[in-house]
C-alpha cells in the first residue's frame, strides 16, 4: 500500500512539474505580447498625468482581453508602473522634465526654453462663429446619434482654420484648448518638417546616403528620401502583434532607431513602399546626428520659431525623439502645424521650409510594390499615382497627417482650409469616423 502511495505521489509530482513547466513556458512565449500591454499602459498613465493633466488613463486603453488584468501604480515622482496582476511583465515609465515620459531608464536631457507664443498667430486668433461650420462639427461629434453611439465615436477635439483664422472648434467634456493630445503617427508628418528645416539650412539633402555607421552592406545606399517615402527595403511588420518589429521597437527597445536600423533588407531599396514606424525613427536619429544635436533641436528648428508652447516630443532611453509616434500638442498647435504645410513652410513671413517643399512632399511616386495607399514624403494623399482619388468625397489636392485611434490633420489648399480631428476611436474605420465627412462639408460651405 505504501509503495502504491509513493507511486501515486511521484505521478502527481511529475504532473505538477509538467504543469509548472508548461505555465512557465507559456509565460515566456507570451511575455513579449504581455510587455507590449504593460509598456503601453505604463507610458499612457505617465504621459497623461505629466503632459495632459489627466488622471483617467484607463479611458485611453484600447479594448483588449489583457486590459482587465493590468495593474498600474503611480509613484510620487510621477513614475507609472504596470504589470499583470501586480506580478508579471512589469514595465515602468518615468517623467522627464519638459519631455513627457520615457519607458525604461530616461536619458538626461537639456532644459527646454520657454516658447514665445507671440510667434503663433493661430493660437488665439478666432473669427466669428459660422453656423454652417458649427453644424458640421456637431455631426463630427455624433450629436445626431444616440448618447452611446456618440460616445463610441470618441471625438475629443475639432479645430477648423480657414484663411489662417480659427472659424470653429469644440472639445469633449474633460478637454479644452489647453489639453495636449497625442498625435501618434501624425508625428511622422512633423518629422517631414524637421527634415525640411535641415534641407533649408543646407545641413542635409534628400539624396544623402551612408546614413548609419553600421550600414556597410547594401543598406549604405538608403537615402533620406527613401526613409521619408517608406521605401528603404528594410524587413518590417507594422502589425501590433506578438513579436512583430513595431511592438518590439516601441515596448522592448531602449534604442528604437538602432533597433530599426538593425533590420536586414527584405527588398531592393526603393522597390517596396512599406509603411514603417522604424523608418521614421531611423530618419530622426540620422537628422539629429547630422545636425550635431539631440531632441532640443526640435525646439530650435521648429517649435520655437513657430511659437508652439504645447508641443512635446517624447524620447526613448537614448534621448532620441520617438518621431514615429510620441508627439503631443494641443489641437490648436496641431492646427498651426497644418497651417505651416498649407503655407508651404512660410510662418510669420519667415520661410522655414524650402520653397516647393510641400508640393514635393505631397507628390506620390510609384513603386513596384506598395502597402501604403497614396503616400508621399510622410504625408497621406488623396490623389494616387494614377490620378484616381482615394476618397472621392474629398478634393484632389487634400492631404493629411494620420494617427492611431482617429487622429487627423487635414490640409486642403484649394479651400484654404486646415481641419484637426482628435479623439479616441479604436477600431472605427475611416468611413465611419466622420472626419472625411466633416472636411467635405466644410469645403462645400466654403465653395458656397
Give the single-character DSSP code of 67. Answer: G
Q: Given this model, what pLDDT does residue 12 score?
A: 52
State the pLDDT at residue 3: 67
Only one residue has cell 453644424, namely: 135
Q: Which residues contact 33 (CB under 8 A, 6 or more apart)?
A: 66, 241, 242, 243, 247
The residue among 161, 269, 277 whose CA lies nearest residue 225 is 269
| CA–CA distances in Å: residue 391 to residues 66, 161, 246, 374, 388 | 35, 21, 28, 11, 9
Q: Let me know how many helices (H) and strands (E) the chain has, helices first.
A: 14, 17
pLDDT at residue 125, rounded to an integer: 64
Residue 327 pairs in a beta bridge with 313
CATH topology of domain 117-447: Beta-lactamase (3.40.710)
Continuous segment of H or E residues that includes residue 333: helix 331-342
Q: What is the pTM of this model?
A: 0.93
Nearest to 196 by CA among 418, 321, 347, 396: 347
- Strands in 327-329's sheet, in edge-to-edge order, are 181-182, 327-329, 312-313
Cα 356 to Cα 343: distance, rounded to the nearest angstrom:
10
Residue 227: per-residue pLDDT: 98
Q: What are the residue ranges spanned by the domains of the chain? A: 2-95, 117-447
Helix (H) or strand (E) holding 182: strand 181-182
Cβ-based neighbours of 414, under 8 Å, separated by 6 or more: 395, 397, 443
CA distance 355 to 364: 18
DSSP code, position 375: B
The label of the residue with cell 509565460 reads: 27
78 within 8 A of 292, measured Cβ to Cβ: no
> How far is it, in rounded angstroms, from Cα 274 to Cα 411?
23
Give the pLDDT of the chain (448 residues) as one tens digit per residue.
566 665 555 645 454 444 433 443 444 345 567 898 999 999 999 999 999 999 999 999 988 888 999 999 999 999 999 999 998 999 999 999 999 999 999 999 999 988 888 899 887 766 677 889 999 999 999 999 988 888 899 999 999 999 999 999 999 999 999 999 999 999 999 999 999 999 999 999 999 999 999 999 999 999 999 999 999 999 999 998 767 899 899 999 999 999 999 999 999 999 999 999 999 999 999 999 999 999 999 999 999 999 999 999 999 999 999 999 999 999 999 999 999 999 999 999 999 999 999 999 999 999 999 988 899 999 999 999 999 999 999 999 999 999 999 999 999 999 999 999 999 999 899 889 999 999 999 999 877 5
Q: Using alpha carbons only, how large is the chain's radius of gyration in Å?
A: 24
Type and span of the H or E element at 305: helix 304-306
Query: How far are the Cα atoms of 38, 57, 91, 181, 426 from residue 61, in angstroms, in the given order?
Result: 11, 7, 16, 14, 9
Tell me the C-alpha distance between 425 and 447, whole Å.
Answer: 30
Region of 378 (left: φ > 0; alpha: ψ -120 to 50; beta: rest) is left
CA distance 391 to 175: 30
Amino acid at each position: 500500500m505504501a509503495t502504491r502511495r509513493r507511486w501515486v505521489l511521484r505521478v502527481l509530482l511529475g504532473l505538477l512539474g509538467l504543469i509548472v513547466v508548461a505555465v512557465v513556458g507559456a509565460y515566456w512565449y507570451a511575455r513579449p505580447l504581455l510587455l507590449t500591454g504593460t509598456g503601453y499602459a505604463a507610458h499612457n498613465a505617465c504621459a497623461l498625468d505629466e503632459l495632459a493633466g489627466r488622471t483617467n488613463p484607463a479611458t485611453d486603453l484600447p479594448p483588449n482581453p489583457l486590459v482587465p488584468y493590468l495593474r498600474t501604480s503611480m509613484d510620487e515622482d510621477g513614475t507609472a508602473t504596470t504589470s499583470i496582476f501586480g506580478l508579471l511583465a512589469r514595465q515602468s515609465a518615468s517623467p522627464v522634465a519638459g519631455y513627457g515620459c520615457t519607458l525604461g531608464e530616461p536619458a538626461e536631457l537639456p532644459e527646454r526654453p520657454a516658447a514665445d507664443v507671440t510667434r503663433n498667430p493661430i493660437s488665439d486668433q478666432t473669427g466669428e462663429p459660422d453656423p454652417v461650420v458649427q453644424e458640421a462639427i456637431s455631426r463630427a461629434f455624433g450629436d445626431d446619434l444616440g448618447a452611446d453611439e456618440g460616445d463610441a465615436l470618441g471625438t475629443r477635439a475639432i479645430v477648423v482654420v480657414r484663411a489662417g483664422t480659427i472659424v470653429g472648434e469644440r472639445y469633449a467634456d474633460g478637454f479644452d484648448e489647453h489639453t495636449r493630445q497625442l498625435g501618434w503617427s501624425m508625428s511622422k508628418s512633423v518629422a517631414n518638417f524637421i527634415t525640411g528645416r535641415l534641407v533649408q539650412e543646407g545641413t542635409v539633402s534628400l539624396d544623402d546616403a551612408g546614413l548609419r555607421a553600421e550600414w556597410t552592406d547594401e543598406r549604405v545606399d538608403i537615402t533620406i528620401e527613401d526613409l521619408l517615402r517608406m521605401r528603404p527595403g528594410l524587413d518590417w511588420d507594422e502589425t501590433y502583434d506578438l513579436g512583430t518589429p513595431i511592438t518590439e521597437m516601441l515596448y522592448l527597445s531602449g534604442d528604437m532607431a538602432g533597433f530599426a536600423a538593425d533590420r536586414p533588407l527584405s527588398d531592393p531599396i526603393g522597390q517596396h513602399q512599406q509603411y514603417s514606424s522604424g523608418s521614421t525613427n531611423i530618419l530622426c536619429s540620422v537628422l539629429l546626428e547630422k545636425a550635431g544635436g539631440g531632441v532640443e533641436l526640435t525646439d530650435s528648428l521648429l517649435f520655437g520659431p513657430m511659437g508652439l508652447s504645447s508641443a512635446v516630443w517624447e524620447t526613448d532611453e537614448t534621448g532620441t525623439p520617438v518621431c514615429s509616434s510620441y508627439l503631443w500638442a494641443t489641437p490648436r498647435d496641431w492646427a498651426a502645424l497644418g497651417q505651416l504645410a498649407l503655407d508651404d513652410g512660410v510662418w510669420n513671413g519667415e520661410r522655414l521650409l524650402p520653397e516647393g517643399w510641400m508640393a514635393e512632399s505631397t507628390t506620390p511616386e510609384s513603386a513596384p510594390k506598395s502597402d501604403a495607399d497614396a503616400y508621399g514624403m510622410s504625408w497621406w494623399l488623396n490623389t494616387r499615382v494614377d490620378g484616381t482619388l482615394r476618397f472621392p468625397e474629398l478634393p484632389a489636392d487634400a492631404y493629411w497627417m494620420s494617427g492611431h485611434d482617429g487622429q487627423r490633420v487635414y490640409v486642403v489648399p484649394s479651400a484654404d482650409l486646415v481641419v484637426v480631428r482628435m479623439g479616441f476611436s479604436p477600431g472605427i474605420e475611416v468611413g465611419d469616423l466622420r472626419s472625411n465627412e466633416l472636411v467635405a462639408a466644410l469645403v462645400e460651405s466654403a465653395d458656397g
